[in-house]
Amino acid sequence: MLYKKIACIGLLIVLTGIWADAQKLPEKKEILAKMTLANDYFMKKWPDTGKEIVTNKTRPSNIWTRAVYYEGLMDLYKTDRQPRYYDYAVDWGEKHHWGMRSGTKTRNADDQCCGQTYIDLYLIDKKPERIHDIKISIDSMVASRKIDDWNWIDALQMAMPVFAKLGVIYSDNAYFEKMYQIYQFSKTQHGGNGLYNPKDHLWWRDKDFVPPYKEPNGKDCYWSRGNGWVVAALVRVLDIMPKNAPHRDEYQQMYLDMMRALVPIQRPDGFWNVSLLDPTNYGGKELSGTALFTYGMAWGINKGLLDRKIYSPIITKAWNAMVTDCVHPDGKLGYVQGTGKEPKDGQPVTYDSIPDFEDYGLGCFLLAGSELCKLK
């Protein structure tokens, strides 16, 4: 079992070369410079925040991919309070009338992801229209008996923080309870016995990857970015939930278990493979999953949940790998896997490849960098 392999975590770190290869984490100003460069590239490319996104079809720009970018932008704004970041986010919300792709009746987590930024902007300037539609959507889910909505693990990141934010704003445990019910169904029931493997402390992306499905090397398929979404969901929920909120302890234990499981499978170059346990299946460098794991580990150090001596070298190696190998001179990000749900999707993943959506990879990168800035 993977979990047993990390019992002697210090020894494993030595064996995997993390201590030996430890590099120095750049100063905050250097981290911020890379974030600014990458974000400026994107803002210049997308001056119109309401412009539709055209790939294989046309989509509105309040879908999940762009919403993840704005999560990162809001964290960048908290790190570096440039008014243009706030204005860019507000303009996005206004262009979409603070609404969701499928309207207030949607239960789709991908549609609801934009609500994370809408709520953050509401907390800065409490204009009721900023929170109106997302609250209606979530309230309808809280009032219903349905709990099987999140049948893919990406959904945890897209929706759980919205429930948590509303629970905090309105001091209403009903949001926390409903969030837990849907989360628990995903964890223990989807795909037969749930999408979470308590032996390896990692998640299958959806029912298509629950055993007997195997990777070419015979291992289970744990998709890097999918598990990164779960890490981000846990971090963003734990970061705002009250200490006495229901089920907080379980989320924290899940977070800690996943952090320990990720340590021995980091690549020597600092990245994590697209398929976490099979480097032969479209193996190679990949930014989005690596950035999300870096974000989660840096947050844990900042909150005193993770041992700095163990995890600081890991995230230092990961960040230095991303800024050295992924960030182009103009700020474009390479090695970002395109959308999909498994290793073969969005390939090839190279320094020069451009994913079908450039926004969510940047969002993940900004989340990681913003949390690293707090370390310094």
pLDDT at 14 (0 to 100): 41
Tell me the C-alpha distance between 254 and 100, whole Å.
30
Please state at what angle helix 359-375 crosses helix 308-325, rounded to 10 degrees.
140
Amino acid at 118: Y
pLDDT at 23 (0 to 100): 81
Q: Which two tokens stand for residue 100?
A: 């969701």
**pLDDT band per the 50, 70, 90 thresholds, residue 4:** low
Residues forming beta bridges with residue 203, ordered by sequence position: 196
pLDDT at 16 (0 to 100): 45
Question: Which residues have CB under 8 Å from 165's CB, separation 6+?
Answer: 115, 116, 119, 120, 240
Tell me the C-alpha distance between 80 and 77, whole Å.
5
Whether the model pTM is above 0.85 = yes
- Does domain 28-373 fall under CATH 1.50.10.10? My reply is yes
How much is the average pLDDT of 287-307? 98
pLDDT at 176 (0 to 100): 98
Q: 212 preceded by cis ω (within 30°)?
A: yes
pLDDT digits (tens, 9 = 90+) for 69-106: 999 999 999 999 999 999 999 999 999 999 999 999 99
Q: Which two tokens stand for residue 119?
A: 């709520």
Kindly report the average pLDDT of the chain as a whole number. Answer: 95
Phi, psi of 202 (to 5 degrees): -135, 165
How far separated are the first and last CA of the chain, in Å rounded? 36
Q: What is the DSSP string of 223-237?
A: BHHHHHHHHHHHHHH
**Contact yes or no for 201/265 (Cβ under 8 A):** no
How much is the average pLDDT of 134-140? 98
How much is the average pLDDT of 146-171? 98
For the chain, the C-alpha Rg in angstroms (whole number) is: 19
pLDDT digits (tens, 9 = 90+) for 243-277: 999 999 999 999 999 999 999 999 999 999 999 99
Tell me the C-alpha distance between 269 and 218, whole Å.
24
**Contact yes or no for 42/358 (Cβ under 8 A):** yes
Tell me the C-alpha distance between 70 and 314, whole Å.
26
User: What are the residue ranges spanned by the domains of the chain?
Assistant: 28-373
Longest alpha-carbon distance in the chain: 55
